[in-house]
Amino acid sequence: MSERITVAHAVQVLGLGVAAGEDVLETEVTGAQVSDLLSHVMAQGKAGQLWITIQTHPNIVAVAALHGLSAVLIAGGFAPEEETIARAEEEGIALLTSSEGAYALAGQLYELGVR
Amino acid sequence: MVHYEFPILGRAYFLGGRASTSVKRVLTQAGVDRETVQRVSVACYEAEMNVVLHARAGHVALDIYTDRVMLHVYDRGPGIADVKLAMTCGWSAASEEARALGFGAGMGLPNIQNQADDMQLTSTVGEGVRLELTFYRRGAGDE
Taking only the tens place, the pLDDT of each residue in B28-55 is 999 999 999 999 999 999 999 999 999 9
Taking only the tens place, the pLDDT of each residue in A104-115 is 999 999 999 999
The reply to whether A2 falls in a domain is no
Torsion angles phi and psi, residue B33, rounded to 5: -60, 155
What is the reported pLDDT for B14? Answer: 81
Q: What percent of chain B has pLDDT over 90?
A: 87
Taking only the tens place, the pLDDT of each residue in B82-110 is 999 999 999 999 999 899 999 989 999 99
What would the mean pLDDT of A39-66 be, rounded to a whole number? Answer: 94
Order of strands across the sheet that contains A49-53: A17-20, A94-97, A71-74, A49-53, A31-34
Task: Determine the distance from the C-alpha atom of residue A78 to the mean position of all C-alpha atoms in its chain, rounded to a whole number.
Answer: 13
What is the reported pLDDT for B142? Answer: 47
CB A34 within 8 A of CB A15: no
ipTM of the complex: 0.84
Smallest Cβ–Cβ distance between A39 and the set B17, B18, B105 belongs to B105
The reply to whether A1 falls in a domain is no
pLDDT at B143 over 80: no
pLDDT at B138 over 50: yes
Fold designation for B2-138: Heat Shock Protein 90 (3.30.565)
Counted across chains A and B, CB pairs separated by less than 8 A come out at 69
In this structure, chain A runs to a length of 115
Smallest Cβ–Cβ distance between B20 and the set A53, A62, A83 belongs to A62
Please tell me the distance from the alpha carbon of residue B108 to that of residue B43, in angstroms, as a whole number.
Answer: 8
pLDDT-derived band at B140 (thresholds 50, 70, 90) equals: low
Question: Could you tell me the residue ranges of all domains in chain B?
Answer: 2-138
The reply to whether A106 falls in a domain is yes
Q: Check CB contact under 8 Å for B102 and A42.
A: no
What is the reported pLDDT for A109? Answer: 98
How many domains are there within chain A? 1
Determine the straight-line distance between the first and last CA of chain A, rounded to whole angstroms: 11
Query: Which CATH number do you get for residue A25?
Result: 3.40.1390.20
From A59's Cα to the closest Cα of chain B, the distance in A is: 6
Chain A residues in contact with B35 (beta carbon < 8 A)? none
Q: What is the mean pLDDT of chain B?
A: 93
pLDDT at A2 over 90: no
pLDDT at B141 over 90: no
The reply to whether A24 falls in a domain is yes
Other beta carbons within 10 Å of B7: 12
Higher pLDDT, A47 or B139: A47
Conformational region of residue A77, where left means phi above 0, alpha means psi within -120 to 50, and beta covers everything else: left
Q: Check CB contact under 8 Å for A43 and B45.
A: no
What would the mean pLDDT of A27-42 be, rounded to a whole number? Answer: 95
A88-97, B58-67, B103-112: lowest mean pLDDT where? Answer: B103-112
What is the reported pLDDT for A60? Answer: 96
Window 102-131 of B, Cβ < 8 Å to A: 102-103, 105-108, 111, 114
Q: Note down the domain range covering A19.
A: 7-112
